[in-house]
Amino acid sequence: MKIEIKDLHYTYPAGVEALRGVSLTIDSGEQVAMVGQNGSGKTTLVKHLNGLLQPTSGSVLIGDLDTKKVPVAKLAVHVGYVFQNPDEQLFCRTIHEEVAFGPRNLGFDASKIESLVADALNLVELSSRKETNPYDLSPTWRKMVALASIISMDTSIVILDEPTTGQDAVNVARIAHVVAELRKRGKTVITITHDIDFCAENFERVIALSQGKILLDGPAGSVLGQGEILAQTYVDPPQLTRLGKRLGLKKTVRNQEEFLSALKS
Amino acid sequence: MAIVNLKGVTYKYPLTETPALSNINLKINEGEFVAVIGPNGAGKSTLCYTLAGFVPHFFKGDLQGSVEVAGVETKTSTLSDWVLNVGLAFQNPFNQISGAKYTVYEEIAFGLENLGIPRGEMKERVDQALTLTGIRDLADRSPYSLSGGQQQRVALTSILVMQPKVLVLDEPTSQMDPIGTREVFGVIRSLAERGMTVIMAEHKVEWVAQFADRVIALYEGKLMMDGRPGDVLTSERLVGKGYGISRYTSAAREASRRGLWPRNRELPVTLDEAVMGFGGFPLPRGEGQGVRGKGRK
């Protein structure tokens, strides 16, 4: 499903102007990373995609659904949102119940629910822990339960709010694998992240926000190379991109292989 | 002299079989800035809770060995006395923010109110702390209206205002942008210079390399390495176990296999070290890597 945001403004009830005219289109099946300093409006923006927030002015269309007119429950069929903090979204007694809750609410029949749950748990490597209480797991694995509970809803759009926060290298790789699998399935994935290396290695398109507006929007390779502009929103280019620049490599490199082969030539 | 002293510390959470910490022996000197690294589940948070007295006073379970801070043992102390010496900022600020206060200003004052600090002094200390961490402009906002990174700054500030001798931080910058991270590391470094002892669990190794005096690597509850940041963070022993490894280190390790990194040169952790190594700049005499290790004399 296509996402169309037109001149979106949002002011919180206390008067903080979090979005100041954002327009963008995300096509079905795109993998987009959103970066920018704390308080730049990233979370506020994605909360408009499933109707958790309503525009102060401007509009948000999910396919042909206007989020101002369609209730959150209807939008939930199309847009899944994994919160930054898993503890804000987990409440069931077992992992199985938790992951089945979403598809059950969407009204799928019992066998469909079971197959969606099995698939989601398999993807996050929790198949063997079905009967465990999510709160008996470490925060790391609770994050994976939160992820599975959205994947099982089989929405065409999946939003991940800072999925790699506090995760070690093994788990970051696990999350990257989930993103790659969703891409294969043709899902739209929108990820908010401060982990620029994760962003460079897993996303094709990068949107940088600054003070409630879009600062840069384009292919990762070109956006992440623009160090001076990114500095305005407190984002550093990926580590190896910076190293390549400092060493005077002509090409903008994004990962180790690109770096090493540019170094040789 | 050692302000923190752990002897043979083994700890099991209630109803668990495997120790979360296993025979930890650790001495930390006053004013030292020690970073604790390790994959998820290595025991970083448990070590933080143990230093802060939450183990055994809040998390019951089975604690063997002794944990001493400033000459007092946790087992013989109470949590309300312990907080006068040791402050802990939780990994998740959501778990720390009291929920009882409407503004950031009041939230920062909450700990001091509980200690019965006089009003005038309390205001002065809150103002200083807000300035130190750069959140004066958030003072009148509700803690819950803030972004994750801003909440982390509030959580940190609410501990700094207590002026603990020992500051324990569990991934204090995990939700922060790079500038925020750099600022927080800078503030913490300067507090250590002024004699505060800092123990910080952290995945962001390139910052650790630039700011910490010493790095401890935990693995499955055991102390696996303890040493100079440059030695620990570039060690082959960290590879493939889920430790955060700087991309500069990994790239140089692979480059040295292909003959693209100077022979016998220590692997880099930071950008500057990588630039110097790949650029072929000679090392300053007798200084090791030069840019690293603001080690306290």
| pLDDT over threshold 90, residue A80 | yes
A212 touches chain B (CB under 8 A): no
C-beta of residue B51 within 8 angstroms of C-beta of residue B69: yes
Give the minimum alpha-carbon distance from B63 to chain A in angstroms, rounded to a whole number: 20
Give the minimum alpha-carbon distance from A260 to chain B in angstroms, rounded to a whole number: 7
C-beta of residue B20 within 8 angstroms of C-beta of residue B198: no
Q: How confident is the model at residue B192 (pLDDT cuts 50, 70, 90)?
A: very high
Q: Which residues of B touch A256 (CB under 8 A)?
A: 247, 250-251, 254
The pLDDT of residue A148 is 97
Closest CA in chain B for residue A12: B145
For the domain spanning B1-85+164-244, the CATH number is 3.40.50.300
Domain for residue A107, yes or no?
no
C-alpha distances out from residue B193 to A191, A257, B15, Å? 38, 40, 41
| pLDDT over threshold 70, residue B54 | yes
Share of chain A above pLDDT 90, in %: 77
Q: Which residues of B touch A239 (CB under 8 A)?
A: 206, 246-248, 271
B94 touches chain A (CB under 8 A): yes
Closest CA in chain A for residue B240: A170
B251 touches chain A (CB under 8 A): yes
Q: How confident is the model at residue B170 (pLDDT cuts 50, 70, 90)?
A: very high
Cβ within 8 Å, pair B278-A166 = no
| pLDDT over threshold 50, residue A191 | yes
Residue A191: domain span: 3-78+155-264
| pLDDT over threshold 60, residue B203 | yes
Average pLDDT over residues A83-91: 86
A196 touches chain B (CB under 8 A): yes
Domain for residue A130, yes or no?
no
Closest CA in chain A for residue B259: A264
Which domain CATH number covers A49?
A: 3.40.50.300
Domain for residue A126, yes or no?
no
Cβ within 8 Å, pair B176-A38 = yes
Cβ within 8 Å, pair B147-A39 = yes
Q: What is the pLDDT of residues A155-172, one digit of tens each?
A: 999 999 999 987 888 899
Cis peptide bond upstream of B56, omega within 30: yes
Q: Where in chain B is the domain with CATH 3.40.50.300?
A: 1-85+164-244
| pLDDT over threshold 70, residue B290 | no
A265 touches chain B (CB under 8 A): no
Q: Which chain A residues in 136-195 lie under 8 Å from chain B, judged by CB atoms?
A: 138-140, 162, 165-171, 194
Closest CA in chain A for residue B91: A166
| pLDDT over threshold 90, residue B289 | no
Q: What is the mean pLDDT of chain A?
A: 93
Q: How confident is the model at residue B285 (pLDDT cuts 50, 70, 90)?
A: low
Q: How confident is the model at residue A98 (pLDDT cuts 50, 70, 90)?
A: very high
Average pLDDT over residues A103-117: 96
Residue B89 bridge partners (DSSP):
B169
Least confident among A95-104, B164-173, B176-185, B255-264: B176-185
What does A247-260 look like in DSSP terms, one character per residue? TT-SSPP-SHHHHH
Q: Which chain A residues in 225-244 lie under 8 Å from chain B, judged by CB atoms?
A: 233-236, 238-240, 242-243
The pLDDT of residue B178 is 83
The pLDDT of residue B264 is 87
Give the minimum alpha-carbon distance from A231 to chain B in angstroms, rounded to a whole number: 9
Q: What is the pLDDT of residues B117-152, one digit of tens each?
A: 999 999 999 999 999 999 999 999 999 888 888 899
Distance CA B182, CA B199 (A): 17
Domain for residue A26, yes or no?
yes
Domain for residue A241, yes or no?
yes
The CB density around residue B78, as the number of other CB atoms within 10 Å, is 10
First to last CA, chain B: 13
The pLDDT of residue A252 is 87
Domain for residue A135, yes or no?
no
Domain for residue A115, yes or no?
no
Cβ within 8 Å, pair A256-B254 = yes
> How many distinct structural domains can be found in chain A?
1
